[in-house]
Chain A
């Protein structure tokens, strides 16, 4: 049981380049999320997917797009990278069952845009 996996772990891009961050979960969760973490800012929600086939914007969606490919996979795309997108990106998944809730996080992708 791998939980939430993310690829790549590290990436360096030049301004204007594009890339896709991949995320997959094997816990059969309906909900998936992308967050970014910046020093002193905590984690902020970029996009989320409440279920397969749906996606919605979070707090900081500008410059990003997402695809919920199937129930397992949720990708984040930067079409034209900017230095302001230098950050650590975390994917997470969750399921609400009764009164139980827990969000599971992947190991993160450290992205630098020069």
Chain B
């Protein structure tokens, strides 16, 4: 069965600093992986996705993620944090046991200070 683990429930950075949010996955088949962002009291918005094409995936708002099979990781990065990046971020993987539903990590809250 597939699963994802997000390391760190809370990450704090200064404005302009590097953002690194960690995600490790477990999958018995080649995974489809996603990062979603949730702003306060809103729904989920797709940041980026990996679907077995390029291992370095670029998303919206300057975020990118690199799929590393040897490390079973799909970490999310952004070179320079902005105050507007403060939100909760979820890593997810498609399950092959419930149609094409997603299995989510527990989320990482990103705080950005000035």
Interface residues of A (CB under 8 A from B): 31, 33, 35, 40-45, 48-50, 56, 58-59, 90, 92, 94, 96, 99-103, 105-108
Contact = CB atoms under 8 A, between A and B. Distances in A.
Nearest to A106: B43
Given A31-B99, A42-B104, A99-B51, A90 B43 contact: yes
B98 A58 contact: yes
Contacts of B99: 31, 33, 48-50, 56
Contacts of A108: 42-43
A43 B9 contact: no
B98 A45 contact: yes
B107 A42 contact: yes
Contact of A58 (B32, B51, B101): B101
Contacts of A56: 98-99
A47 to B, nearest CB: 9
Nearest to A41: B106
Given A31-B100, A43-B90, 18 more contacts: A31-B99, A35-B104, A42-B90, A42-B105, A42-B106, A42-B107, A43-B44, A45-B98, A48-B99, A50-B100, A90-B44, A99-B52, A101-B49, A101-B100, A102-B49, A103-B34, A105-B44, A107-B42
B20 interface: no
Contact of A103 (B9, B53, B102, B105): B102
Contacts of A107: 42-43
B64 to A, nearest CB: 17
B56 interface: no
